[in-house]
Amino acid sequence: MLTPNRSLQALLFATGAYALFPDCTNGPLKNETICNASASPIDRAKSLVALYTLEEKINATSSGSPGVARLGIPPYQWWNEGLHGIAGPYTNFSTQGEYSYSTSFPQPILMGAAFDDALITEVAKVISTEARAFNNANRTGLDFWTPNINPFRDPRWGRGQETPGEDSYHLSSYVQALIHGLQGDATDPYKRVVATCKHYVGYDIEDWNGNLRYQNDVQISQQDLVEYYLVPFQACVNANVGAFMCSYNAVNGVPTCADPYLLQTVLREHWGWTNEEQWVTSDCDAVQNIFLPHEWSATREQAVADSLIAGTDIDCGTYMQEHLPGAFAQGLVNETVIDQALIRQYSSLVRLGWFDSAESQPYRQLGWNTVATNASQALARKAAAEGIVLLKNDGVLPLSLDSSISLGLFGDWANATTQLLGNYAGVGTYLHSPLYAAQQLNVTINYAGGNPGGQGDPTTNGWSSIKPAIVTSDVLMYIGGIDNSAEEEGHDRTSLQWTGAQLDIIGQLADTGKPTIVVVMGGGQIDSSILANNPNVSAILWAGYPGQDGGSAIMDIITGKSAPAGRLPQTQYPSNYISQVPMTDMALRPGKNNPGRTYKWYNGTAVYEFGFGMHYTNFSANITSQLQQSYTISDLVSSCNATGGFLERCPFTSVEIDVSNTGTTTSDYVTLGYIAGTFGPAPYPKSSLVAYTRIFNIAGGASDTATLNLTLASLARVDEMGNKVLYPGDYSLMIDNGPLASVNFTLKGQQAVLDVWPQPPANRTGKGVSGFEGYFVAGFGSEQEVV
Ligand SMILES: O=[N+]([O-])c1ccc(O[C@@H]2O[C@@H](CO)[C@H](O)[C@H]2O)cc1
């Protein structure tokens, strides 16, 4: 994560972030409705906002909200992160002792590979518990700007690691499980924390050929928007998420933080995200970016007015604080609009218990003893092991290690420390590298880690330094790949290839003829065809960014303590993919200069497909439910009462699959259900994931039942206007994309539109910058006027 520059950080800290709660027992507000715990959150918030002066209201639009001392409202810092554990930039870890660390889970890209929604809920519960403990110690806030749920559309994206992968159904299922764990049950009297779905929407380019995230104007068809980019965000609404973040980029000409179509028409009206305690924050500096570099609004005052009126309730930054006074003076915005933003903010804090006494709520009791518990540490290790994907195995794995075996460990990641965490990490409880984990085993270790050739060209320069370890080892393990020096916020990848130096060393290890195992680290996939095709490379594992105990999880898989069952959450494209399509081409379907995106539309041959993953055993599957041969569309429609286009709330059928372990090793199995067929207009997606479930610990020779719940969303397609339609035609339900089991059925009757998509208004243009020549300085920067 980028670190805010010093002056802004100082300014936000000067606001007194993380001061205590308002005192509703003895403070100045004790007799006001805001302090009446039996009044509704909205009434309570309204009563507070009615006491604010306009200046106090304007000050409260910033993420570093200064509070109102005369009313006993302490400052509140809205910007807290929690991607895979509580994190900065304003979360305050102590330098030692209590509150000096928390549990750091794997990056979402690896947790996504587990395809285990129950696991995600458990992880999110730990994060929200630890967040509460830190909040009680005045070290972080109560709302968290997580998850990053933009689909991992292009393999170059530097922040794809923050997401669960490329598939919109998978992201939707994952994010609902996550929000449940972060926020708690809808019926709970208090929210555990508030989650924030970001970045709404179409944000997945950092810097491609000078196309910077702060200024990109991405062109997305209504079909692709509804079919792909918006899907996980609608799932956030379905899960009743407390907050959204609008993104830096513009979509089809309009910066998202100034777009009433996206923020009002789609989000609040069409999807029904109408609860007044739900708010939208801007990404950091995104309100400023409406003026510069987007040049959407003619003046700074117009930019803040445009964004507040469109539905941005919090400005990550200080632009609204600085320019709303002018906007009010010019009559560009009225007080009702700012009141609404503040009512949303404060009713959210009411639902978090900010105004209520400690005795009345469970979360204020949580302390240091609930952080980094043995159970949460075990969960971090389990989450990593569940996600690791076995891409190749000639039978060498699992390894039986004992003291007579000597294991050679090579590569940059063999003794990884903070590399294990990836970006948006807090302070982990510990950092267990593969080397550390191997040292805990009864095996002789020959460590020659680091990459003697560096990240540059092919080299044999380092050969002499690693040769002794090669010669004396029985089994060779290379642990490398990429880290945040190759993929990061602000930095997209420029290559999908292994570096020459790494390939050189792996090749030389493999040439010895000794068992050679390659562990690939990093969020984006690296084209590993050269390793897949090398018969002397015995096994390949992909391990993402596995978190604080990642080394242990890797060794758990290597030794068979855990059996691998993770599946690739994104396509591994051949390296020439990135020369075939510009990153800025947002289209999913193949076209001129675009071979198609994701496993649904890519018309080339993947190195490894989305959903691929091997086991230490074999499985067979049998669909045991009787599906009808044919369904009538009108019958399906009449049994569906969904509103707001939530076809996920309309059941279609439940399918049971008998999964048998036909080998000898006990293993989990991820059951992926796909729909394919010829229905609706061509082109047809190759297949679409519509359901998944992970079943656990199936012993060799035993079987278990996987249940997949299909909804009408499983069958619907999106037309060019963005409408969701049920079409007559031929359908196949396929387990594991076909190889294991499939069943065919048809839909008959007239096609039916199930969700009529609201069209954007025509000719949406901003007023444009008049006369200001300048540029925006990224990283909580400021505008520099060109003089
Ligand atoms: O100025 N900075 O230091 C700074 C740091 C991070 C940053 O990134 C943005 O902030 C995150 C807020 O959650 C969004 O996910 C990301 O796009 C934007 C600005």
pLDDT at 13: 41
Structure tokens at 151: 């689909």
Please choose from 283, 288, 318 the residue to mutate so as to test ligand 1's pocket, defined by most ligand atoms within 8 A of CB.
283
pLDDT at 5: 41
Q: How many CA atoms lie within 13 A of 290 on its CB side?
A: 35
- What distance in angstroms lies between residue 745's CA and the mean position of ligand 1's atoms? 48
Q: Decide: 158 in ligand 1 pocket, CB within 6 A.
A: no
The answer to whether 363 and 508 have CB atoms below 8 angstroms apart is no
Which atom of ligand 1 lies closest to the CA of 146? 13
pLDDT at 18: 43
Q: Where are the domains of the chain?
A: 380-601, 619-755
| 3-state SS class at 476 | strand
Q: Give the residue, by CA position, lying nearest to ligand 1 atom 14.
A: 283
For the entire predicted model, the pTM comes to 0.96
The answer to whether 512 and 468 have CB atoms below 8 angstroms apart is no
Which atom of ligand 1 lies closest to the CA of 780? 1
- What distance in angstroms lies between residue 442's CA and the mean position of ligand 1's atoms? 44
When pLDDT is averaged across residues 394-408 and rounded to a whole number, the result is: 95
pLDDT at 454: 54
Secondary structure element (H or E) that encloses residue 131, with its range: helix 117-136
- What distance in angstroms lies between residue 285's CA and the mean position of ligand 1's atoms? 8
Each residue's pLDDT tens digit, 293-352: 999 999 999 999 999 999 999 999 999 999 999 999 999 999 999 999 999 999 999 999
- What distance in angstroms lies between residue 284's CA and the mean position of ligand 1's atoms? 5
Each residue's pLDDT tens digit, 476-501: 999 999 999 999 999 999 999 999 88
Tell me whether the CATH fold assigned to 380-601 matches the one assigned to 619-755.
Answer: no
Which atom of ligand 1 lies closest to the CA of 248? 17
Q: Decide: 2 in ligand 1 pocket, CB within 6 A.
A: yes
Q: Decide: 779 in ligand 1 pocket, CB within 6 A.
A: yes
- What distance in angstroms lies between residue 283's CA and the mean position of ligand 1's atoms? 7
Residue 144, CA distances (Å) to 109, 115, 357, 449, 786 in order: 19, 23, 22, 37, 37
User: What CA–CA distance (Å, rounded) separates 111 from 566?
Assistant: 9
CATH of 380-601, one of 3.40.140.10, 1.20.1640.10, 2.20.25.10, 3.40.50.1700: 3.40.50.1700
Please choose from 2, 140, 205, 491 the residue to mutate so as to test ligand 1's pocket, defined by most ligand atoms within 8 A of CB.
2
Which atom of ligand 1 lies closest to the CA of 781? 1
Residues classed as catalytic: 283
Q: Decide: 727 in ligand 1 pocket, CB within 6 A.
A: no
Cis, peptide link before residue 325, omega less than 30° from 0? no
% of residues, the chain, pLDDT over 70: 94
Q: Give the residue, by CA position, lying nearest to ligand 1 atom 18.
A: 284
User: What CA–CA distance (Å, rounded) separates 783 from 743?
Assistant: 59
Q: Decide: 19 in ligand 1 pocket, CB within 6 A.
A: no
pLDDT band, residue 85 (cuts 50/70/90): very high
Q: Give the residue, by CA position, lying nearest to ligand 1 atom 19.
A: 779
The answer to whether 725 and 717 have CB atoms below 8 angstroms apart is yes
- What distance in angstroms lies between residue 2's CA and the mean position of ligand 1's atoms? 6
Q: Decide: 145 in ligand 1 pocket, CB within 6 A.
A: yes
Q: Decide: 780 in ligand 1 pocket, CB within 6 A.
A: yes
Cis, peptide link before residue 432, omega less than 30° from 0? no
Q: Give the residue, by CA position, lying nearest to ligand 1 atom 5.
A: 2
ipTM of this complex prediction, to 2 decimal places: 0.99
- What distance in angstroms lies between residue 248's CA and the mean position of ligand 1's atoms? 10
Residue 499 gets which letter from DSSP? Answer: P
Cis, peptide link before residue 147, omega less than 30° from 0? yes
Secondary structure element (H or E) that encloses residue 382, with its range: helix 374-387
Q: Which of the pair, 737 or 125, is modelled with greater confidence?
A: 125
When pLDDT is averaged across residues 521-545 and rounded to a whole number, the result is: 98
Edge-to-edge strand ranges of the sheet holding 630-632: 630-632, 741-748, 729-735, 667-679, 688-698
Which CATH code is given to the segment(s) 619-755? Answer: 2.60.40.10
